[in-house]
Structure 1
Amino acid sequence: MRKPNVVGVDGSESALDAVRWAARDAVLHRVPLRLISVGPKPAPDTAREVNRSDRDGWLSAAAQVATDTAPGVETTSELRAGIPYAVLVEESAQARRMVVGIRGLGERTGLPVGSTAETVAIHAKCPVVVVRGRVPEPAEASPVIVGVDGSRVGEAAAAVAFDEASARRVPLVAVHVWIDVAVEPWFAIDDDREWAEIDETERAVLAERLAGWQEKYPDVEVLRVVERDRPVRYLVEHAKHAQLIVVGSRGRGGMSGMLLGSTSRALLHTAPCPVLIARTAGL
């Protein structure tokens, strides 16, 4: 059974952007699209009946947007009762991918990302795409960006990124930023030759991390980027003209109790294009 791309629909333009992205992705990967609208539990009062009517309209509009965006996409819709983020996290257990807009209807417009999107990104049981920034046009040749750090979750990100670049027939930019991986912040090095030796070592690390995936996806052109700094700045810089950033839910330096690492969380607030947070089973 093909697991679907699942999108939360709430009548906002942000949600419709998520529907457009998820519909194209569903056709690209030949999977169904499932649209979910979540509202309060049924009650006899008129206000909530109007709310249900609104949500029926939101789902109908979203289904039409999906069809217009990706003709032939297999779409189902459902009204669910409950708290939006809780229902979406529950749905994620049976989803291929959860796709959410950056901000729901009624959430504060001054925030770079809404509470529902961030909560789903933290707690979902499957990969999550937060659709923000510049949404790519169909057949766009801009690259996929992936953050590579050598962790198990980073390995999951590399797997997803190669698959996305191959399916979209675009280059892959693999970014490895090593200052907080190889060198502790309190460890000072003044000799440029020592920095050069570390840089050479980290380039070898990146090459090793990518070797198996390049063999599996020989069609993917890979640009390797190795920098000495913090990851977010370089991921954002290289993503200015990208169609997707792929990162792990928690990096190599992340605390084991964290469900979403600092780099992934920062990208939810700053990325100039959609962000895909990959996950490894059990993490």
Structure 2
Amino acid sequence: MNRPVVAGVDGSPSSLAAADLAAATAVARSRPLVLVHGYLHPMGYGVPLNPYDLGVPAPTAESEKMLESVAADLADRYPGLRVQVRQVAGGPGATMVEESRRAELVVVGSRGVGGFAGLLVGSVSGQLAQHGHCPVLVVRPPEQPIPMGGPVLVGVDGSGSAGYAVELAADEAARRDAELVLTHVRSPERGAVAPEVAAEASTAEQAESAGLLAAAAERVRAAHPGLRVTERAVVAASPEAALLQASGTASLVVVGSRGRGGFVGLLLGSVSQAVVQHAHCPVLVAHRPEGD
């Protein structure tokens, strides 16, 4: 199935940055690009106010012009790009979650129209990160330049979700000809225990960390023999703190939708959620596409 790359566009600078990255990604993957605008009815939020009027509200001429303008600009700047535009009568968050069922990748800005400066992730990107049905790329605001030469960073914790994140991160690093950094974070030694007990626990944790990284690196090198892979064991107060700090020099951070110990009903784990909210570079949330 030739699944498209889908970008949510509302005219905001953040969404335009997302559309630009989505266009580059679509060309690199030889996929079509679909620009989607989920619009709300001016007063009824997409639902007719009159219960006897079951017609679907029409899109506005202004939003249609905005979409066509963005599509034309991208087609000019990315030769070979196949781009379509679509408006959907519904809330933008629900619209993009539904679009993700048929997409290879969904790209959204971290803030849309009406977002506050202190709210790094808006409701649309937040909903997609939680409930997307394919990988979701959240693009940082355009005022935060992306370090294009930086590595692709991914956390390793032994969970199935993190395993899929490593797979996606390796694919992205190979496409970008970038270094892949596999990171496992463990807590510092704590507590008033006997020195020999603390030393034994520390040795066991180091061995577990090294084992997880080695196993992940072996799988990556088998799939991508020429890829530069770095295994990085980190001692930090929390995995999210370590990943956020490392994101400052990365071109992309890839996170699983759930980590070790996550509950089935918790679609986005606390580490992934923190990284999506506060990373200094784009974040790819590794939702496995439906049907895969």
Give the alignment of 1:129-208 within 5 angstroms. 129-132=137-140, 134-136=144-146, 140-179=148-187, 190-191=195-196, 193-194=199-200, 195-208=202-215
Shift of 1:187: 9.9
- Report the counterpart of residue 98 of structure 1 in structure 2: 106
- Over 3 Å counting, the alpha-carbon distance change for 1:193 and 1:24 in structure 2 is same
- Over 3 Å counting, the alpha-carbon distance change for 1:267 and 1:82 in structure 2 is same
- The code of the aligned residue for 1:259 comes to L
Alignment partners' CA distance in 2, 1:254 and 1:189: 32
The one-character-per-residue Cα deviations of 1:166-211 (angstroms, maximum 9, x if unpaired) are 111111011111339xx9x989675563314421331122101221
- Report the counterpart of residue 8 of structure 2 in structure 1: 8
Q: Structure 1: which 5+ runs fail to align?
A: none
Three-state SS of the structure 2 residue aligned to 1:204 is helix
The one-character-per-residue Cα deviations of 1:213-254 (angstroms, maximum 9, x if unpaired) are 211101110111111331112212222121110010111122
Alignment partners' CA distance in 1, 2:195 and 2:258: 31
The reply to whether residue 52 of structure 1 matches residue 63 of structure 2 is no
TM-score where L is the length of structure 1: 0.88
- Report the counterpart of residue 62 of structure 1 in structure 2: 70
Contact 1:135/1:243 (CA < 8 Å) preserved in 2?
no
- Over 3 Å counting, the alpha-carbon distance change for 1:63 and 1:189 in structure 2 is farther
- The code of the aligned residue for 1:56 comes to E
Shift of 1:114: 0.7
Q: Looking at CA atoms only, which structure, 1 or 2, has the larger radius of gyration?
A: 2
The reply to whether residue 256 of structure 1 matches residue 264 of structure 2 is yes
Three-state SS of the structure 2 residue aligned to 1:227 is strand
- Report the counterpart of residue 27 of structure 1 in structure 2: 27
Contact 2:37/2:86 (CA < 8 Å) preserved in 1?
yes
- The code of the aligned residue for 1:26 comes to A
- Over 3 Å counting, the alpha-carbon distance change for 1:152 and 1:281 in structure 2 is farther
Q: Work out the percentage of aligned pairs sharing the same amino acid.
A: 37
Contact 1:135/1:274 (CA < 8 Å) preserved in 2?
no
Q: Structure 2: which 5+ runs fail to align?
A: 49-56
Alignment partners' CA distance in 2, 1:71 and 1:93: 27
Alignment partners' CA distance in 1, 2:79 and 2:246: 31
Shift of 1:155: 0.9
Three-state SS of the structure 1 residue aligned to 2:249 is coil
TM-score where L is the length of structure 2: 0.85
The reply to whether residue 87 of structure 1 matches residue 95 of structure 2 is yes
Three-state SS of the structure 2 residue aligned to 1:23 is helix
- Report the counterpart of residue 222 of structure 2 in structure 1: 215
Alignment partners' CA distance in 2, 1:94 and 1:146: 25
Give the alignment of 1:260-275 within 5 angstroms. 260-275=268-283
Three-state SS of the structure 2 residue aligned to 1:93 is helix
1:247 to 226, 241, 255: 255
